[in-house]
Amino acid sequence: MSNDLFDFGERIDRYAVMGNPITHSKSPKIHSLFAKQTSQAVEYTAIQVDMGGFSQAVGNFCASGGKGLNITVPFKEEAWQLVSERSQRAELAGAVNTIKFDRDQIFGDNTDGIGLVHDLKNNHNYELRDKIILLMGAGGAARGVIAPILEQHPSLLIIANRTPDKAVALAMHFSEFGTVQGCGYGQLNELQFDLVLNATAASLQGEVPDLPEELLADQAMCYDLMYGAKPTAFMAWAAVHGASQITDGLGMLVEQAAESFYIWRDVRPETSSVIEMLREVLNNE
């Protein structure tokens, strides 16, 4: 019996997440739950890649028969450079978090923004249409979510950043997709927001950008794109300042993974049970 025949039906397709550091990545857990739930023959591992070794690592994974990759910090921009084809949302985000190897093509996509939108709409029952939205931060995390937010037709999106020029430049970059303006935190005094999204790295330092006391509209939602076992500093700020819904980015993490899984497998996993399971894992860490 030839090996081909012997292997037929037994094949497991291999995927991985690449980043540095990668030991705390939740992606292997999420994708193994998706694979089990959808009965897909998928193996998913985490690969730590040395700085300077990214393109080599991607080439090796592809050459060894790997089917696709997730890319995380700090390689998303390099992945954008590396791929041979990009989705429109990846093109605009300037970053790639999902790679699919397709014959001799390397297809790059970015599922972060749609992950945020799906989490808000499907898990929190929150519609973005006609809302006044504040996005804090103008780095890679912020840039990845702007086009998918504007696609939902908010009435206004303000991007605020510690370095205001970066927010202004980002707003200009996305201006053809909706009403979007950039500014510094000191210029937020006139407006009240329905939804405030924190895409800064301030949470990592336990800090909150300098925000006006009256920032939140009635029934405001506050969403931190970061997640952890404990509420972030921004989530604590939101509680003190009267937000009616407060959430972290765990749902976004699972939703962006679900979109990657769909790109690779053409099957949509159910996400709410996976978010619940991950929340438990996080609380027990």
**Residue 28 found at the interface with ligand ATR (CB under 6 A):** no
2 binds ligand ATR (CB under 6 A): no
Contact status: 202 vs ligand ATR (CB under 6 A): yes
Note whether 163 binds ligand ATR by CB under 6 A: yes
Classify strands 216-224 and 193-198 as parallel, antiparallel or unpaired.
parallel
Q: How far is the CB of 24 from ligand ATR (least distance, A)?
A: 15
Site string for ligand ATR, 205-234 (x = CB under 6 A): x-x-x-------------------------
Is position 29 annotated as part of the catalytic site?
A: no
Q: Which of 76, 100, 131, 166 is catalytic?
A: 76
Burial class (CB in 10 A: 0-12, 13-18, 19+), 169: middle
70 touches ligand ATR by CB under 6 A: no
Are 279 and 229 in contact, with CB atoms under 8 Å apart? no
Q: One symbol per residue from 84 to 123: x for binding ligand ATR (CB under 6 A), - otherwise; what is it?
A: ----------------------------------------
Across the chain, where does the E strand assignment appear?
13-19, 42-48, 68-71, 85-86, 98-102, 105-109, 132-136, 156-160, 180-183, 193-198, 216-224, 245-247
The only residue of 27, 97, 98, 200 in contact with ligand ATR, by rule CB under 6 A: 200
Distance CA 53, CA 50 (A): 5
Binding region for ligand ATR (CB under 6 A) out of 52-60, 124-132, 137-145, 188-196? 137-145
Closest CA to 186 of 157, 163, 216: 163
Task: Locate 196 and state its tokens.
Answer: 């405030």
CB atoms within 10 A of CB 277: 14
* Positions marked catalytic: 76
* Contact positions vs ligand ATR (CB under 6 A): 137-142, 161-163, 166, 200-202, 205, 207, 209
